[in-house]
Amino acid sequence: MQPVTTWLDEYGESHQNPTNKFLHWICVPLIVLSLIGLLWSLPVPEAFVRMSPLMNWGMLFLLASLVYYFIMSITLAIGMVPIIAGTIALVHWADGLATPLWQISIAVFVLAWIGQFIGHMIEGKKPSFFKDVQFLMIGPIWLLSAVYRKLGIPI
């Protein structure tokens, strides 16, 4: 596996325009939330329910993501823990709303991707995931790494 800095640098190459960067700060978290919401909404085996009322496909995806991030960078993975916890809390809360979670998630997902593609049209470069689907996992830690750089935290 490539070092995390290689992934972040390559992701950053197609995210230089300030408007595109701004849109990514909004849209990447919304895409993550909506994707988890969609996965959360899928039916689960009875064994999941017996383990925990929170055990679902969204939770499994988040746990697998955390493992992936720990393999890439322990420091970034530690930073993702509270972000993932916040994601769980928000999706759990949204799951209790009158509108079904899957409907909210689809609407947010579509709107956020429209924002991403607008940003890339402004940037004049294709989204990184067209080159490698793993870049879909890099977006959140690319944002976190920008915070780390401002705070002087090594990645």
Task: Spell out the domain ranges in the chain.
Answer: 4-151
pLDDT in tens, 92-103: 999 999 999 999
Confidence (pTM): 0.91
Q: What is the distance between the alpha carbons of residues 61 and 18, in angstroms, rounded to a whole number?
A: 31
- Residues 60-68 have a mean pLDDT of 97
Q: For tokens 């994707």, what's the residue?
A: 35
> 128: which DSSP letter?
G
Nearest by Cα to 31 from 148, 98, 119, 154: 119
Nearest by Cα to 100 from 37, 29, 35, 32: 37
pLDDT at 110 over 90: yes
Q: For tokens 């793993």, what's the residue?
A: 134
Please tell me the chain's helix, strand, coil percentages from 3-state DSSP, rounded to the nearest 5: 75, 0, 25
The predicted structure's pLDDT at residue 64: 97
The predicted structure's pLDDT at residue 128: 81
> Tokens at residue 12, please?
């950053």
pLDDT in tens, 10-35: 999 889 999 999 999 999 999 999 99
- Residues 76-95 have a mean pLDDT of 97
What residues have CB less than 8 Å from 143, skipping those under 6 apart? Answer: 24, 25, 28, 29
Q: Do residues 21 and 11 make contact, with C-beta atoms less than 8 angstroms apart?
A: no
Q: Do residues 34 and 108 make contact, with C-beta atoms less than 8 angstroms apart?
A: yes
